[in-house]
Amino acid sequence: MRLETFRGPDYATAFAFANSELGDDAILVWSRNIRYGTGTGVEVACTTSDLLSQFRSRVSPGTPRFSAGTRRSDGRPFILALVGPTGAGKTTTAAKLAVHPDAFGGLKVGFLSLDTYRAGAVEQLQSYADVAGLDFELAYDSRDLAGALTRLAKCDVILVDTPGRGPKSNGAAWRAMLNRLDPDETHFVVPATMRTDLLLAARSDYTSMGASHAIITKVDEVPLDSMVAVFAAEVGMPVRWVTDGQDVPTDLREAGPTLIGALGTCPAMAAA
């Protein structure tokens, strides 16, 4: 969603600028008071109804419908991989997705960890698996994959956890494994606190690895929901879930209600 900002000494003037630039269907997303000249003024961020509906559909991509025993035509479980920068929340989010009722809770979920690099990474996911009574497999290289998939074959969904290393770092082995797994969905896990320039660079790296969706984490660390919505617009990928805290599994939400609700939807002219 492209956002344009307009400034003026008052709302009427700022909205007049918005309407002349974006047309009569300019929609207010957020506004704030600013210094303007020697006094005070307002800044409004607006978009158009077309771009807003694109945003709405992007943050409501629909949950893939699974039922126990549902399989792809080749009989394989649905495979969802989590990729993203170090500390973004991949492992914690995998644990949430496995048991949260708004995600895969109720289905038979197994974990496959490709993160054999960081000390403690295996134990972190294994402990969630133990608590929830879920199958857990580990793969050090591509030769381990066939056995791991066989042992997880009775699962409906396999959640794949990966190391926090971008394509630029030395991680050819796990990227080769991810390629070999050919996940049904690969989610770019990205904290809402990330700087926009770094977000854009990371997004490009991870989409080149096959990321098809994004999960926005740490939205609880951003003061305003509207800022998260603007961040989601910058991410520019389908977003099915956001996370808003460290508690497993409770701090996971469907993205649509959180992000759409955060946007103002009043026509700029009407608000003026």
Ligand X SMILES: Nc1nc2c(ncn2[C@@H]2O[C@H](COP(=O)(O)OP(=O)(O)OP(=O)(O)O)[C@@H](O)[C@H]2O)c(=O)[nH]1
Give the binding site for ligand X (CB under 6 A). 84, 86-92, 115, 118, 121, 164, 217-218, 220-221, 243-246, 251
Q: Nearer to Mg ion by C-beta: 5 or 124?
A: 124
Instruction: List the structure tokens of 233.
Output: 């617009």
Distance of closest approach, residue 120 Cβ to Mg ion, in angstroms: 9
Question: In this structure, what DSSP letter does residue 215 have?
Answer: E
What tokens appear for 46 in the block? 């607006």
Q: Which residue is nearest to ligand X (CB)?
A: 164
Residue 178 CB burial class (10 angstroms; 0-12, 13-18, ≥19): buried
Using the contact rule CB under 5 A, the part of the chain among 70-78, 90-98, 102-110, 131-139 near Mg ion is 90-98
Q: How far apart are CB 98 and ligand X at their closest, in Å?
A: 13
Provide, rounded to whole angstroms, the least separation between the CB of residue 172 and ligand X.
17
Nearer to Mg ion, 90 or 253 (CB): 90
Q: From 7-15, 87-95, 219-227, 259-267, give the range in contact with Mg ion by CB under 5 A.
A: 87-95
Residue whose CB is less far from ligand X, 34 or 224: 224
> How far is the C-alpha of 124 from the C-alpha of 226, rounded, in Å?
33
The yes or no reply on residue 113 touching Mg ion (CB under 5 A) is no
At 5, phi and psi to the nearest 5? -105, 145
By C-beta, is 5 or 116 nearer to ligand X?
116
Dmax over CA atoms of the chain, in Å, equals: 70
Least CB distance to ligand X at residue 51 (A): 27
Order of strands across the sheet with 39-47? 4-8, 39-47, 27-36
- 108 is written with which tokens? 């038979």
Give the residue with the Cβ less far from ligand X, 19 or 243.
Answer: 243
Say if strands 239-243 and 213-217 run parallel, antiparallel, or are unpaired: parallel
By CB under 5 A, is residue 217 in contact with Mg ion?
no
- Beta carbons of 215 and 240 less than 8 angstroms apart: yes
The secondary element (H helix, E strand) that includes residue 121 is helix 121-132
Q: Of 87 and 257, which has the nearer Cβ to ligand X?
A: 87
By the rule CB under 5 A, 91 interacts with Mg ion:
yes
Q: How many residues does the chain have?
A: 272
Residues that bind Mg ion (CB under 5 A): 90-91
